[in-house]
């Protein structure tokens, strides 16, 4: 199954390391970082699960819940998490989905036959509080994810929603943003009273402070 940006993330009911969940109910009013792993007790996955736990405060500050998936059982997940906590010097306190029958992995297109018929690739889904998919990324099994980029795109998505802007290449919080061409100069004067720099009529940049973004939310 191929899922597209803007679609409602498919719902499912499943067992996790923190008990059974209904995915849409679990999302609640939060954003979600949903990510999959090929298997338990593997080195790259161990660092990724640990890094997610280490970034718990950063995700919480963005109103983001984390949830992992591996095509193993709850018992195997719990044994593995003990190793993750020990080797990565952290505490994994987010749920990891048990998916031994590949139900969720197939529902979300995480099984790529040229990689494996039974293990999920390193998929990332960023899902908003309305349960819509806002971003997807897929890494091969032997390449760990870039968590700086995951946090960066969440910041960009949330700011874009709050301020009706777009972000340029390599944007970081605090840097100038782009006024989309769909917003006329007349509209822009109301939305961006701080003004803008018109490089071309279709390329206008402006600044948006954290305080302004908070007010817009």
- Structural domain boundaries in the chain: 13-145, 164-216
User: Which positions of the chain have pLDDT values less than 50?
Assistant: 211-217
Q: Please report which residue ranges of the chain form alpha helices under DSSP H.
A: 23-27, 43-54, 56-61, 74-88, 103-107, 147-163, 185-191, 210-216
Confidence (pTM)? 0.92
Q: Rounded CA gap, 144 and 161, in Å?
A: 29
Say whether 126 sits in a helix, a strand or coil. strand
Q: Is 182 a catalytic residue?
A: no
Q: Between the CA of residue 187 and those of 16, 121, 163, 183, what are the distances in Å?
A: 47, 44, 13, 6
User: Which superfamily, per CATH, for 164-216?
Assistant: Antioxidant, Horf6; Chain A, domain2 (3.30.1020.10)
Q: How much is the pLDDT for 98?
A: 97
Q: Which of 9, 27, 45, 120 is catalytic?
A: 45
Q: Which fold has domain 13-145?
A: Glutaredoxin (3.40.30)
Q: How much is the pLDDT for 41?
A: 95
């Amino acid at each position: 199954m191929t899922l597209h940006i803007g679609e409602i993330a498919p719902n499912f009911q499943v067992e996790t390391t923190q008990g059974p969940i209904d995915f849409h109910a679990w999302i609640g009013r939060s954003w979600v970082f949903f990510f999959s792993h090929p298997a338990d007790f593997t080195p790259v996955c161990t660092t990724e699960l640990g890094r997610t736990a280490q970034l718990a405060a950063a995700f919480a500050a963005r109103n983001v819940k984390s949830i992992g998936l591996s095509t193993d059982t709850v018992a195997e997940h719990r044994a593995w998490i003990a190793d993750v906590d020990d080797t990565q010097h952290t505490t994994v306190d987010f749920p990891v989905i048990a998916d031994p029958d590949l139900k969720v992995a197939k529902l979300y297109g995480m099984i790529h036959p040229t990689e494996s018929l039974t293990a999920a690739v390193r998929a990332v889904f960023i899902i908003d509080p309305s349960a819509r998919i806002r971003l997807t990324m897929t890494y091969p099994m032997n390449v760990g994810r870039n968590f700086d980029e995951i946090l960066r795109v969440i910041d960009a998505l949330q700011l874009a929603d709050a301020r009706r802007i777009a972000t340029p290449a390599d944007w970081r919080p605090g840097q100038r943003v782009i006024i989309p061409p769909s917003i006329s100069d007349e509209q822009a004067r109301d939305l961006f009273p701080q003004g803008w720099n018109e490089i071309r009529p279709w390329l206008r940049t402006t600044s948006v402070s954290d305080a302004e973004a908070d007010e817009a939310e």
